[in-house]
């Protein structure tokens, strides 16, 4: 049975903005009937406060669990801080949504002196990604780095950057074997389990389930496949076909190659980024299998409407991009210690009936 002991913090899609009430000097001043300036001098030990008044302020601060606003302090020092983000370009629809979240965070943090830099890796060119990250480290182009590539050989690069004093977090693609400060993104074992649960329910607990994966071996792909298998073991009347690896660069030829597997299956789980391509092929050969996959785009929306895709699992790409940047800044300024944490974003099921809310 899957049991995670990792240090995680679950974030809902709606929780992009933190919604807590901070205890401020103004609130303390209001409750004690004092000026904000007097409270501020007492809290920051700047003198000119009577001992009796000082003690009242400190007692009230303890009572209200006052914590210094390190972000405001950072802003007052007028320092600059550069955050670099490295993301792939493919699949375009997914990373455009991630970039939307990254831009949102950069815009919010610019008043704090944050300079945002974005680097894109064309068409999954991993060697290009290595060179970009190595240059950021060696030329000190940033104070912190959010990287969406976590597998080998990036583990060594992440460790090297951390050892050189660069604050590095992973998002979307985790690298738990590295020294990365924290991770933002889906729990991919849970994603695979959720996909299996959906598929098994749509099949009524009987039939054959094909697992499609990519030719590239990654931690993310392994976790999805492991979660998928775990749930299928609970359904003895469902037989798994695969995992079947398909090559993205010649996807049409590869899908034709595995046509016997696809037509034999009662249901198909596309654990990679090829949901639209698989749906297009199934429509072309007039196949009627249950089809489950990940992410959301206009193409996926259209295939949901035509009932070619049965359901897709959204992985909060906007929130992933936003939180990766925001939490890196908070970690760097000391507002929140993110060391060894995992911020797990929400998985949402999208079907034909609710898809219009996501388009």
Q: Tell me, yes or no, whether 354 lies in a domain.
A: no
pLDDT, tens digit (0-9, with 9 covering 90-100), for 219-262? 888 999 999 999 999 999 999 999 999 988 888 899 999 999 99
Q: Tell me, yes or no, whether 163 lies in a domain.
A: yes
* Same domain, yes or no: 136 and 111: yes
pTM recorded for the entire structure: 0.79
Q: Tell me, yes or no, whether 352 lies in a domain.
A: no
Q: Tell me, yes or no, whether 2 lies in a domain.
A: no
Strands 311-314 and 348-351: antiparallel
Nearest alpha-carbon partner for 169 in 180, 155, 158: 180
- For the segment 132-157, the average pLDDT, to the nearest whole number, is 89
* Same domain, yes or no: 233 and 282: yes
Number of domains in the chain: 3
Query: Residue 37 is part of which domain span?
Result: 23-68
- For the segment 317-337, the average pLDDT, to the nearest whole number, is 89
CATH number at residue 210: 3.40.50.2300
* Same domain, yes or no: 120 and 160: yes
* Same domain, yes or no: 131 and 200: no
Residue 21 has pLDDT above 70, yes or no: no
pLDDT, tens digit (0-9, with 9 covering 90-100), for 56-109? 999 998 888 887 665 555 555 556 889 999 999 888 999 999 999 999 999 988
pLDDT, tens digit (0-9, with 9 covering 90-100), for 168-177? 999 999 888 8
Q: Tell me, yes or no, whether 3 lies in a domain.
A: no
Q: Tell me, yes or no, whether 154 lies in a domain.
A: yes
Residue 299 has pLDDT above 70, yes or no: yes
C-alpha span between 165 and 163 (Å, rounded): 5
Residue 116 has pLDDT above 60, yes or no: yes
* Same domain, yes or no: 229 and 256: yes
* Same domain, yes or no: 45 and 111: no
Q: Tell me, yes or no, whether 256 lies in a domain.
A: yes
* Same domain, yes or no: 122 and 168: yes
* Same domain, yes or no: 193 and 296: yes
pLDDT, tens digit (0-9, with 9 covering 90-100), for 165-210? 999 999 999 888 899 999 999 999 999 999 999 999 999 999 999 9
CATH number at residue 33: 1.10.260.40
* Same domain, yes or no: 219 and 286: yes
Residue 265 has pLDDT above 80, yes or no: yes
* Same domain, yes or no: 122 and 55: no
Burial class (CB in 10 A: 0-12, 13-18, 19+), 350: buried
Q: What percent of the chain has pLDDT over 90?
A: 62
Higher pLDDT, 73 or 345: 345
* Same domain, yes or no: 296 and 325: no
Q: Tell me, yes or no, whether 61 lies in a domain.
A: yes
Which runs of E-coded beta strand occur in the chain? 8-11, 81-88, 114-121, 144-147, 167-171, 182-185, 207-214, 238-246, 267-270, 290-294, 311-314, 341-345, 348-351
Residue 3 has pLDDT above 60, yes or no: no
* Same domain, yes or no: 174 and 196: no
Q: How confident is the model at residue 4 (pLDDT cuts 50, 70, 90)?
A: very low
In SS3 terms, 182-222 reads as EEEECCHHHHHHHHHHHHHHHCCCCEEEEEEEECCCCHHHH
């Amino acid at each position: 049975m899957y049991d995670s002991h990792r240090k995680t913090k679950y974030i809902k899609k709606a929780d992009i903005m933190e919604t807590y009430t901070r205890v401020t000097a103004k609130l303390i001043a209001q409750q004690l009937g004092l000026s904000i300036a007097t409270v501020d001098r007492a809290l920051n030990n700047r003198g000119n406060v009577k001992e009796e008044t000082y003690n009242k302020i400190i007692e009230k601060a303890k009572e209200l669990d006052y914590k210094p606003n390190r972000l405001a302090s950072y802003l007052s020092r007028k320092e600059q801080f550069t955050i670099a983000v490295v993301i792939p370009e493919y699949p375009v629809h997914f990373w455009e949504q991630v970039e939307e979240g990254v831009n949102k965070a950069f815009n919010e943090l610019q008043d704090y002196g944050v300079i945002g830099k974005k680097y894109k890796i064309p068409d999954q060119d991993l060697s290009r990604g290595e060179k970009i990250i190595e240059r950021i480290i060696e030329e000190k182009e940033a104070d912190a780095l959010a990287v969406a590539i976590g597998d080998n050989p990036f583990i060594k690069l992440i460790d090297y950057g951390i050892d050189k004093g660069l604050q590095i977090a992973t998002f979307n693609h985790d690298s738990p074997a590295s020294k990365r400060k924290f991770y933002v993104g889906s729990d991919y074992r849970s994603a695979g389990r959720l996909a299996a649960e959906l598929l098994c329910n749509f099949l009524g607990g009987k039939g054959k389930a094909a697992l499609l994966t990519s030719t590239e071996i990654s931690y993310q792909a392994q976790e999805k496949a492991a979660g998928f298998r775990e749930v299928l073991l609970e359904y003895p009347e469902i037989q798994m076909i695969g995992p079947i690896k398909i090559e993205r660069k010649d996807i049409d030829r590869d899908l034709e190659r595995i046509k016997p597997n696809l037509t034999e299956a009662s249901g198909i789980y596309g654990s990679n980024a090829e949901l639209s391509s698989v749906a297009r092929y199934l429509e072309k050969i007039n196949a009627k299998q249950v089809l489950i996959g990940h992410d959301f785009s206009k193409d996926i929306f259209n295939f949901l409407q035509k009932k070619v895709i049965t359901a897709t699992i959204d992985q909060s790409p906007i929130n992933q991009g936003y939180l990766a940047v925001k939490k890196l800044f908070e970690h760097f300024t000391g507002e929140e210690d993110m060391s060894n944490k995992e911020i797990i974003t929400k998985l949402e099921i999208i079907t034909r009936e609710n898809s219009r809310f996501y388009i």
